[in-house]
Amino acid sequence: MSYTLAELAERVQGKVKGDGNLVISGLGTLEKSDRQQLSFLANPKYTNQLKTSGAGAVLVKSVEQASVVENAIITQNPYLAFAQLSHLFVPKTQSWVGVHASATISDQAQVAEDVTIGPNSVIDEGATIGSGTVIGANCVVGRNAHIGSNGRLYPNVTLYHDVKIGDDCILHSGCVIGADGFGFAPRTDGWEKINQLGGVEIGNQVEVGANTTIDRGALESTRIGNGVKIDNQVQIAHNVIIGDNSAIAGGVMIAGSVNIGEFCTISGGSGITGHLTLTDRVHITAMSLISHSILEAGSYSSGTGMEPTSKWRKTVARIRRLDETAKQVLDLRKQVNKLLEKVDTK
């Protein structure tokens, strides 16, 4: 996996400064790259590292930045160019091709001829797997589940029955798609389970992180739109709808029947309570609790910001006294109004 600098520049519509025949065999950071690696400068605060970088070449945005290094690719968006070029250097991650001898595939399943299926994986009856898809070791593709073309399931992924995955999707290890939603009706002596009769429908070019769970719907399907990116350890409850090209960071918890619009971002550790709507292009900052619908695009936050513990304790103490303080202010206002009334009558 080696390319000349000119070849890489052509792939990102960039302009070469320096030696276009320089051979690049990998990508790296400004700080730790060597002569055979290409790095990138996306954040101006790291500009000073250009002079000391050992990288053979650097993706930069301007001629001025390129002048600091011997070789460069000048491109409008260095970070996007880095992302595009990263696809060229992906190492092979499995040692087998075709269907491993230990895999169990139902005679009733429809599997394209060029699909790769790893050791101990199970493909149940009625399942369909599209061309070019790679199924890692110990995966389970449930009854009547569907996976589109050119997908990738890393080891230990579980797809329950009737789950539908689109084309070009990546599911990382340990994620579970289609488990029952959390549905129970109270009885006098406990709880009655509500069977979850819907499914999960995931669009094209979706990536789901490790140990993330997406629950099936109660009656209708949980739906994840095209281009959605979901990080590790995210919980998406039953009947959630996520619009196209939204991104959800690690540790987010989304309760049932939440409707999230397109191009939204939910930062790590945030929670969204049930039956809410977030319109398109809503951006939630880290560790926020969203407890009512957001119908206007923009950035939203909740909680208190970090500060030294001693100061935080004082702040919390004041917050706990807010109700008492508010009552005192109201009483004082009433007293002032009474005094003003007496002055006015004189």
Residue 243: partners with Cβ closer than 8 Å, 6 or more residues away: 225, 228, 260, 261, 262, 263, 264, 280
Distance CA 117, CA 105 (A): 9
Distance CA 76, CA 82 (A): 12
Catalytic amino acids?
238
Identify the band that residue 345 occupies on the pLDDT scale cut at 50, 70 and 90: low
For the cut 70, the answer to whether the pLDDT of residue 183 exceeds it is yes
Summarised one tens digit per residue, pLDDT across range 97-121 is 899 999 999 999 999 999 999 999 9
Between the ranges 51-55, 79-83, 93-97, where is the mean pLDDT highest?
79-83
Distance CA 118, CA 195 (A): 32
For the cut 90, the answer to whether the pLDDT of residue 271 exceeds it is yes
Same domain, 244 and 333: no
Q: How many structural domains compose the chain?
A: 3
3-class secondary-structure state, position 248: strand
Provide the mean pLDDT of the chain: 94
User: For residues 82 and 102, is the Cβ–Cβ distance under 8 A?
Assistant: no
For the cut 70, the answer to whether the pLDDT of residue 346 exceeds it is no
Total Cβ atoms within 10 A of residue 114: 13
Same domain, 278 and 217: yes
Total Cβ atoms within 10 A of residue 121: 24
Q: Which helix (H) or strand (E) holds 24?
A: strand 23-24
3-class secondary-structure state, position 18: coil
Distance CA 148, CA 162 (A): 13
Q: Give pLDDT, residue 90.
A: 84
Q: What percent of the chain has pLDDT over 90?
A: 79
pTM: 0.85
In a domain, 97, yes or no: no
- Looking at residue 82, which CATH number applies to its domain? 3.40.1390.10
Q: Give pLDDT, residue 213.
A: 98
In a domain, 250, yes or no: yes
Q: Average pLDDT of 164-180?
A: 98
**Domain span at residue 323?**
309-345
Q: Using N-to-C axis directions, what is the helix angle for 322-345 and 309-320, rounded to 10°?
A: 50
Classify the phi-psi angles of 49: left when phi > 0, otherwise alpha if psi is within -120 to 50, otherwise beta. alpha
In a domain, 284, yes or no: yes
For the cut 90, the answer to whether the pLDDT of residue 340 exceeds it is no
